[in-house]
Amino acid sequence: MIRKDMYIDGKWRPARSGRQREIINPYDGSVIAQVAEGAREDAVDAICAARRAFDTGPWPQTPAVERARLLFRLADLVERENSDLARLESLDTGKTVTESRWDMDDIAGIFRYFAGLADKNAGEQIASPNPDTTSRLVHEPVGVCGQISPWNYPLLQASWKMAPALAAGCTIVMKPSEITPLTTIRITELAEEAGFPPGVVNTVLGPGIDVGAELAENHAVDLISFTGGIATGKTIMRAAAGNVKKVALELGGKNPNIIFDDADFDLAVDYALNGVFFHAGQICSAGARVMVQAGIYERFVEALKARIQKIVLGSGFTDGVQMGPLISADHLAKVERYVAIAQKEGASLVLGGKRPDDPALKNGFFYLPTLFTDCTNDMRIVQEEVFGPVISVETFATESEVVERANSTIYGLSAGFWTRDPDRMARVSRALRFGTVWINDFNVYFVQAPWGGYRQSGLGRELGRMGLEEYTEVKHVYQNHATQPINWFGI
Ligand code: NAD
């Protein structure tokens, strides 16, 4: 049974308005749940609860080792529920259940990692320039954190925020995407079972322009952490200026995957496909911009074509299915618009470019894996995030040319390149200005390594030690052990 309420101050409750929203299965358009549709007033209730829990509740006095114990317990519960959580995530997003299981494994690991860091962030003594004094740095929780997550990796993205915030000692108000709230609701139940005190973990449901905007604007919120699109990120940044709250942004990407002619050809083809068609291309780090050196361009396109034609679409719960649907009818329409723009701008459509003919898929939001060639740097399909199963292939002549072109984007989340030349590995990894650079691999991330973007791909870093630091303030405590009179004024 899927719970439908919001969780505020340790209690489950409907929206004050009583409104509800239908949650749709993208595979066939059926309704899988009805959940509370909150509004600003519900967000305010949750913020007040988190504020009380931070200012006067037991949480600030809870020792770091106890916070760690609760997070370890939550990791165990995620592991216990792995199959059910994965099933729920696939129902809600359409992705294959195998991918969802990998997500759940990662999520348990994320809670363990930050549980392990919770009691290792006590601060340090620094050198004071004055005799008979001590100076120490103390890491303290930022306070009340609003956490807004997207629909593509609903629980994974929520966990990237939830785990470090709780490890640092903050209280949180989570807001999942209104179209994929189910696993965030479920992990809130697990947090309750793990024993987090009332008000420490709150989950509000509802639309971004209402509930999300309240989290970004409200002066009782100390930090807003957001993962989603660039336009929303900019709105949130402006809203956060009202009380100069801290802002952490994980925005989109248009990630180049560069294939030099000395690369291991077959591996590069294999990873180019994985780089973009995973979760139907709805990944911020999708390698949708493939750049192939001139000498191997034709052969590379042929190899991509041969394998793309064999991609199996269908239900994420069916064995052998490799790609599910897009998330929604609106998103499908956006991908269709980009494909039309690419054709108008002169890119050559080699494969796909339409919905599948299979009548079994007609009620879902499916789109065929799509391949464009003859793409150039100025095309919107090359510069903008499509967030769908669409590859654009460009060719290049030299290393310096491709680096310059790869960097000429407003995004800077991730990039990958393929070569066997160790000197080139050093040169190109230094020259590419992206938050993550993969050499002879693509789309790898893990909790120990920080994740975030250069340029307009974001602000700050999630995961790794830096992920915990986002949720802490640093206090300098200076103590004079032998205070002497100054005798300056009025003597
Ligand atoms: P989105 O920006 O439409 O929505 C994201 C979240 O913001 C949702 O919860 C939504 O309700 C909320 N929201 C919308 N308007 C708001 C407002 N005015 N104020 C406050 N909150 C608001 O993004 P999406 O379509 O859900 O997700 C796709 C985007 O997320 C893509 O651009 C993708 O690249 C990005 N993304 C980035 C990363 C990363 O790590 N950098 C990871 C996953 C997704």
Same domain, 171 and 281: no
For ligand 1, the distance from its centroid to the CA atom of residue 351, given in whole angstroms, is 29
User: Ligand 1 pocket, 251 CB below 6 A?
Assistant: yes
* Residue 341, in any domain of the structure: yes
- Tell how far the Cα of 209 is from the centroid of ligand 1, in angstroms: 11
Per annotation, catalytic residue among 48, 145, 170, 284: 284
Backbone torsions φ then ψ of 343, nearest 5 degrees: -65, -40
Given the CA of residue 413, which atom of ligand 1 is nearest to it? 41
412-458 confidence digits (pLDDT tens): 999 999 999 999 999 999 999 999 999 999 999 999 999 999 999 99
- Of 152, 180, 249, 456, the residue with max ligand 1 atoms within 8 A of its CB, to mutate for a pocket test, comes to 152
Residue 375 bears catalytic tag = no
**What residue's CA is closest to ligand 1, atom 34?**
252
Half-sphere exposure of 217 (CA within 13 A, CB side): 11
Structural domain contains residue 485? no
94 lines ligand 1 (CB under 6 A): no
CA of 228 to the centre of ligand 1 (A): 2
DSSP string, 286-321: ---EEEEEGGGHHHHHHHHHHHHTTPPBS-TTSTT-
pLDDT at 4: 86
Q: Indicate the helix (H) or strand (E) that contains 402.
A: helix 399-407
Catalytic residue among 89, 217, 250, 469: 250
Q: How far is the CA of 190 from the centre of ligand 1 (A)?
A: 24
Note whether 138 and 262 are same-domain residues: no
> pLDDT tier at 122 (50, 70, 90 boundaries)?
confident
Query: 307 and 243 share a domain?
Result: no
| Structure tokens belonging to residue 425 | 């590995």
For the stretch 52-94, pLDDT in tens is 999 999 998 899 999 999 999 999 999 999 999 999 999 999 9
- Could you give the CA distance from residue 228 to residue 158 in angstroms, rounded to a whole number? 12
Residues 173 and 288 in one domain: no
- Looking at the fold, whether 154 and 34 belong to one and the same domain comes out as yes
Same structural domain for residues 281 and 339? yes
Q: Confirm whether 470 is domain-assigned.
A: yes
284 tagged catalytic: yes
Give residue 420's domain range: 256-439
Mean pLDDT on 367-390: 98
Q: What is the pLDDT of residues 211-230, one digit of tens each?
A: 999 999 999 999 999 999 99
What is the CATH classification number for the domain harbouring 113?
Answer: 3.40.605.10
The finding on whether 385 has its CB within 6 A of some atom of ligand 1 is: yes
Say if 455 falls within a structural domain: no
Q: Would you place residue 2 in the very low, low, confident or very high pLDDT band (cuts 50, 70, 90)?
A: low
Same domain assignment for residues 392 and 421? yes
pTM of this structure: 0.97
Asked, for residue 220, whether it belongs to a domain, the answer is yes
Indicate the top mutation candidate among 95, 148, 205, 250 to test ligand 1's pocket, ranked by most ligand atoms within 8 A of CB. Answer: 148
Ligand 1 within 6 A of 177 CB?
A: yes
CA of 212 to the centre of ligand 1 (A): 10
pLDDT category at 488 given cuts 50, 70, 90 is: very high
Ligand 1, atom 8, residue with closest C-alpha: 177
CA distance 475 to 486: 26
Amino acid at 21: R
Does the pLDDT of residue 342 top 50, yes or no? yes
| Helix, strand, or coil (residue 453) | coil
Same domain? 178 vs 109: yes
Considering the domain architecture, whether residues 360 and 284 belong to the same structural domain is answered as yes
Q: Are residues 357 and 409 in the same domain?
A: yes
The pLDDT of residue 255 is: 98
Which CATH number covers residue 345? 3.40.309.10
Asked if the structure places residue 401 within a domain, the reply is: yes
Q: How close is the Cα of 234 to the center of ligand 1, in Å?
A: 11
Mean pLDDT of 359-378: 97
pLDDT of 207 = 98
- Is 232 near ligand 1, meaning CB less than 6 Å away? yes
Ligand 1: distance of its center to the CA of 31 in Å? 23
Does 268 fall in a domain?
yes
Check if 206 has its Cβ closer than 6 Å to any atom of ligand 1: no
**For ligand 1, is residue 293 a contact (CB within 6 Å)?**
no
Instruction: Write down the pLDDT at residue 60.
Output: 84
Q: Do residues 259 and 300 lie in contact, with contact meaning Cβ atoms separated by under 8 Å?
A: yes
- Same domain? For 35 and 102 the reply is yes
CB 415 within 8 A of CB 406: yes
Q: Which has more pLDDT, 122 or 436?
A: 436
Residue 114 lies in a domain: yes
Locate 473 and state its tokens. 């303030």
Do 107 and 163 belong to one domain?
yes
User: Which tokens is 117 given?
Assistant: 């860091």
| Contact call for residues 409 and 308 (beta carbons, < 8 A) | no
Decide: 46 in ligand 1 pocket, CB within 6 A.
no
The model's pLDDT over 138-178, given as tens digits with 9 standing for 90+, comes to: 999 999 999 999 999 999 999 999 999 999 999 999 999 99
Count the domains in the chain: 2
Question: Measuring from atom 43 of ligand 1, which residue has the nearest CA?
Answer: 284
pLDDT of 373 higher than 80: yes
* pLDDT score, position 1: 46
Structure-token pair, residue 441:
């691999």
pLDDT digits (tens, 9 = 90+) for 249-261: 999 999 999 999 9
CA 10, CA 13: separation in Å to the nearest integer? 10
Check: CB of residue 328 under 8 Å from CB of residue 29. no
Answer yes or no: is the C-beta of 227 below 6 A from any ligand 1 atom: yes
pLDDT tens figures, 230-247? 999 999 999 999 999 999
- Ligand 1 centroid, distance to 142 Cα (angstroms): 23
Average pLDDT, the chain: 97
Is pLDDT at 112 greater than 70 in this prediction? yes
| Rg of the chain over all Cα atoms, to the nearest angstrom | 24
Tens of pLDDT, residues 291-331: 999 999 999 999 999 999 999 999 999 999 999 999 999 99
Cβ(413) – ligand 1 distance below 6 Å? yes
